[in-house]
Amino acid sequence: MNSVFVVSAFSLVSSLSSINVVVAQPGGGAAAACVNPTFGALPAAASLRQDTGCTYAAGTETYVDPGDSTKSKTLSYSPGGSAVSTNAHIYNSFEAGFTSTQDNVISGWGCSTPILLYDSTGGLDLGLAESKVRKLCYDSVAWSFPNVQADNSYRGCVGPCGGHTNDYHFHGRYHCLYSQSGAHSTKIGDVGPYIMYGKW
């Protein structure tokens, strides 16, 4: 079973370990409690910039370089280190767009001309947003973004497990919350009235 993929506005995360992380974030702040939404009737529209669900599994952020699958790096984020705690936010499947306020973030991804990525409307899912960065900043080179640089810094719109920020929220992937083993897929969160499972 495939996990549900969700994406949201991008955020800037700083690292407390030897791996520096450059991902996008509209703002910092203290972590807020995740609130799984309720709906009067289904189908219902998901919020564009608020919780669409909450996790109840925990995990550890790691990154395996696709160019060298023998090396796994554990990332560390403020404030919780490499741990992804339970009750993390699950956001929807669209980013919020990029403007000049994200120039430092975009430059941190290795893009010398941030204006090429400006999109005040937003609405791209994580895969398309990363493909756009790969095309415009790395000339579509395979495995070029997200990436780990020679100085051991990770560059990506989100962390390897699919989330980011001090108020950690997911946009997709979720692989750090489950293992593909056992008799059934791991329950990793609630999305409205539904249960979200990892791959099995």
Query: Is residue 169 in a domain?
Result: yes
pTM of full prediction above 0.85: no
Query: Is residue 115 in a domain?
Result: yes
Q: If you average pLDDT over residues 38-46, what whole number do you get? A: 86
Confidence (pLDDT) at 115: 94
Q: How far apart are CA 135 and CA 24, in angstroms?
A: 18
Position with higher pLDDT, 54 vs 141: 54
In tens, the pLDDT along 169-191 reads: 888 888 889 888 888 899 999 99
Query: Is residue 36 in a domain?
Result: no
Count of domains forming the chain:
1
Query: Is residue 153 in a domain?
Result: yes
Q: In which domain, by residue range, is 182 found?
A: 20-27+53-195
Confidence (pLDDT) at 73: 62
Query: Is residue 68 in a domain?
Result: yes
Q: If you average pLDDT over residues 6-30, what whole number do you get? A: 37
In tens, the pLDDT along 60-100 reads: 877 766 666 656 665 544 434 567 888 999 988 778 788 99
H-assigned helices in the chain: 103-108, 126-138
Query: Is residue 10 in a domain?
Result: no
